[in-house]
Chain A
Amino acid sequence: DGGITQSPKYLFRKEGQNVTLSCEQNLNHDAMYWYRQDPGQGLRLIYYSQIVNDFQKGDIAEGYSVSREKKESFPLTVTSAQKNPTAFYLCASNRPLLGGAGRMNTEAFFGQGTRLTVV
């Protein structure tokens, strides 16, 4: 079955440590995204990549880094510079859609998330 796999499900980070969250997709989608979810708030975009070997900062990129060496993989590193990393992290990919009047848009698909906790 096609889908997005995030690992690990739970991750614990000590102060000053970098940790990497894995995201793998077999949907053959070009565009991939990382969102952060905090209680009572909407999801916020951290980084996105619309093609291999290219990625862009989202709304809250400070303290995070990514790479996109393969189409299937978009790992997120939470660095020690991120002062409040405890959150639920969601990886997504976008499927192109043909909308009204022939306009392109996209449909998002999500992984099961990684819960990161600072200890």
Chain B
Amino acid sequence: KQEVTQIPAALSVPEGENLVLNCSFTDSAIYNLQWFRQDPGKGLTSLLLIQSSQREQTSGRLNASLDKSSGRSTLYIAASQPGDSATYLCAVTPRRNSNYQLIWGAGTKLIIKP
């Protein structure tokens, strides 16, 4: 059974720092991995999607990497800003499920201090 873990559960850093959020999964048989952002009381905004054949994806100050063999992904945020404060969720689409459902981590709550 696929399980997804995100560490740490919460992170507080000063503005301007570069930071890394971690996501691990137990079964490497995935179609892709997605990173989402969730603001309090809001829905999910897709940040990056990495296909299983890819190693990384970049969007602005965000860079996500995928190491399928070790079951790990990282989300790198450069030059953090207070507006980056949110909960970041990662999710995988397992190959073993024919319904393409997502399996989720519990998220990392990020606070950027001005």
Residue numbers of A with Cβ under 8 A of B are: 6, 31, 33, 35, 40-45, 48, 50, 56, 58, 88, 90, 92, 94, 97, 99-101, 103, 105-113, 115
B100 & A105 in contact (Cβ 8 Å cutoff) = yes
Q: Mark B90-113, 1 if CB is under 8 A from A, else 0.
A: 010100000111111111000000
9 sample A-B contacts, Cβ–Cβ < 8 Å, listed by A number? A42-B91, A42-B107, A97-B49, A100-B54, A105-B31, A107-B46, A110-B45, A112-B43, A113-B42
Q: Is B63 part of the binding interface, using a Cβ–Cβ cutoff of 8 Å? A: no
Q: Is B44 part of the binding interface, using a Cβ–Cβ cutoff of 8 Å? A: yes
Nearest CB in chain B: distance from A19 CB, A = 19
Contacts of B53 in A (CB 8 A): 99-101
Closest to A88 in B: B41
Closest to A110 in B: B44
In the bound complex, how far is the Cα of B40 from the Cα of A95, in angstroms?
A: 26
Kindly list the 10 A-B residue pairs having the minimum CB-CB distance in the complex, ordered from nearest.
A100-B53, A42-B104, A105-B31, A112-B43, A110-B44, A43-B104, A106-B100, A113-B43, A99-B51, A110-B43
Interface size class of B (residues with CB under 8 A): 20 to 34
- A97-B43 CB under 8 A given contacts A42-B4, A103-B31, A107-B32: no
Q: Is B34 part of the binding interface, using a Cβ–Cβ cutoff of 8 Å? A: yes
A106 & B93 in contact (Cβ 8 Å cutoff) = yes
Q: Within the complex, which residue of A44, A56, A110, A113 is in contact with B99, where a contact is CB–CB below 8 Å?
A: A56
In the bound complex, how far is the Cα of B9 from the Cα of A113, in angstroms?
A: 22
Q: Which of B4, B102, B103 has the most CB of A within 10 A?
A: B102
List residues of B (3-46) whose CB comes within 8 Å of A's CBs: 4, 9, 31-32, 34, 36, 41-46
Contacts of A112 in B (CB 8 A): 42-43
Contacts of A94 in B (CB 8 A): 100
In the bound complex, how far is the Cα of B34 from the Cα of A109, in angstroms?
A: 11
Contacts of A56 in B (CB 8 A): 99
Nearest CB in chain A: distance from B8 CB, A = 13
- A42-B103 CB under 8 A given contacts A105-B51, A107-B32, A112-B43: yes
